[in-house]
Structure 1
Amino acid sequence: MKLLENKVALVTGASKGIGRSIAQKFAEEGAHVAFTYLSNVEKGQALEQELQALGIKAKGFRSDASDFAAAGQLVDDVVKEFGQLDVLVNNAGVTQDGLLMRMSEEQWDRVININLKSVFNLTKAATRTFMKQRSGSIINLTSVVGLRGNAGQANYAASKAGIIGFTKSVALELGSRGVRSNAIAPGFIETEMTGELDPKVVEEWKAGIPLKRGGTPEDVANCATFLASDLSTYITGQVLQVDGGMLT
């Protein structure tokens, strides 16, 4: 039996990168997958077809996770379409880097709304379903930057640190109902975004990582699969670092 057989998962921001890998891994492990995308319709539709080819039910929803009303409607639509919801992965996120002295209010608000408010929106929307069925796994994507900060990323670091506090609070609130809440803190993960960096910068990053390599989206997806599965039923309120030992 596959690890996520017959579970229904909702993954936000899954058209590329880590979110896409999580959706793919979940489907490979037997989960039915609902996912969101926003700007790239073509990639969203391609992912839906790719997941369906694995023999599970999959559906993409064009939805803005930072919109409170849209998040509520999304969860309602997923439960109606799939009949249940067992796993919520809050992955949607953006960066708008810049030193604090030059950061605009718009840059601050956009990152906080998409990265942090979206986690509140989707979690609140899913809570009623999870509490009613007395089970559920909430997986929030934070970052090592949320644990240690990073110059030029005050908005991003604040949003990711906020996710950690939110995750632990939800674990305390919902634990008695059998609902688990955990976070994953990726380190240097090689994605389309990091592929645009100066190769020298990338090598400097790798040199400072005990495992001497960057992580892959699949590394993060494997961790998410563990937290979504029944292998982790006694784990809640935790932040699992997928960083090759970067913050050790």
Structure 2
Amino acid sequence: MRLPDKTILITGGASGIGLATVQRCLQEGANVVMADLPGSDGPQQAQALDAQYPGRCAFLPVDVTSTEQVDALVAAAVGRFGRLDGVFNNAGIGGMSPAEQYPDADYLRVIDINLNGVFRVARAALRQMYAQGSGSIVNCASILGVFGQSATAAYTAAKGGVVNLTRTLALEGAAHGVRVNALGPGYIDTPLLAGLDPAMRQALIGLHPLGRLGRPEEIASATVFLLSEEASFVTGAHLLVDGGFTAGKS
């Protein structure tokens, strides 16, 4: 097992990539705190997983736009399991609009969740990890953290910010025994894409040289690697898991 007796906090953990990562971390021997919005399926998902892995999976509600809730989340995770060894900073939302039509409220909400939320969770986790002298944080960025795409001004700004925030936190954390990395998924076959019409879905598939969308389990595997001691000399990286999407783009 790659995460024996480690305590891992996963935001956005109730579905898609987050849920797949919760499941994989449990399989790898970790205690897992699944965090998501109060109205999510998190409590039911965590209860089912805790029955399968007794005493090792707990759900805690959080809105990552709230500093108070984020700080309370980290404190509760440590109170439950005694320490915090890893974080998958995965909570996020989409949003599309031409820049000249983007309402302030919509733009700022994407930034607040996808970038500021990542910072809030990382900041609270770093305080605990610095006190322990160890830890690993994985921030979920995106292929759109390294190049632009029309109608995604808020999303690309946020994800580009996550990539560079990760580098800065890695530099700060190194002296404290803490590693910080980012993941850059391509288009992943999650419920968020379930509503696409067949033509749009096929167009997205065609953008990936491997000829398919990614699977949540593949992002979970990369996350577990970065959280584990197998990546002990990896920090400040942005690991692209994108089926070759960015390989031909500068």
Short-chain TM bin: over 0.9
1:64 is aligned to: 63
Q: Which amino acid aligns with 1:3?
A: R
- Kept in 1, the 8 Å contact 2:84–2:128? The answer is yes
Cα displacement (A) at 1:177: 1.3
Equivalences for 1:32-43 in 2 at 5 Å? 32-41=31-40, 43=41
Contact 1:88 1:139 in 2 (8 A): yes
1:134 to 2:139 alignment: no
* Structure 2: gaps of 5 or more residues: none
Tell me which residue corresponds to 1:180: 179
Relative to the length of structure 1, the TM-score reads 0.96
Q: Decide whether the 8 Å contact of 1:167 with 1:183 is kept in 2.
A: yes
Aligned pair count? 246
Q: CA deviation at 1:39?
A: 4.6
Q: Which residue of 2 aligns with 1:106?
A: 105
What per-residue deviation string (whole Å, max 9, x for no partner) do you get for residues 84-115 of structure 1?
Answer: 00001110001121111111000111000011
* Conserved 8 A contact 1:27-1:56: no
Counterpart position of 1:214: 213
Q: 2 CA distance for matches of 1:89 and 1:56?
A: 20
Instruction: Tell me the secondary structure at the aligned position of residue 182 of structure 1.
Output: strand
Query: What is the aligned partner in structure 2 of residue 149 from structure 1?
Result: 148
Change (3 A) 1:149 1:227: same
* Residue identity opposite 2:160 in structure 1: A
Q: With structure 2 as the length reference, what TM-score do the two structures score? A: 0.96
Q: CA deviation at 1:55?
A: 3.7
Q: Percent identity?
A: 35
Q: What CA distance in whole angstroms lies between the structure 2 residues aligned with 1:47 and 1:236?
A: 31
Q: Report if the CA contact (8 A) 2:141-2:184 is conserved.
A: yes
Q: What is the one-letter code of the residue matched to 2:59?
A: G
* Contact kept in structure 2, 1:7 and 1:30, CA below 8 Å: yes
Q: What residue is the counterpart of 1:95 in the other structure?
A: 94
State the one-letter code of the partner of 2:156: A
- Given that 2:38 and 2:62 are in contact with CA atoms closer than 8 Å, whether structure 1 keeps it comes out as no
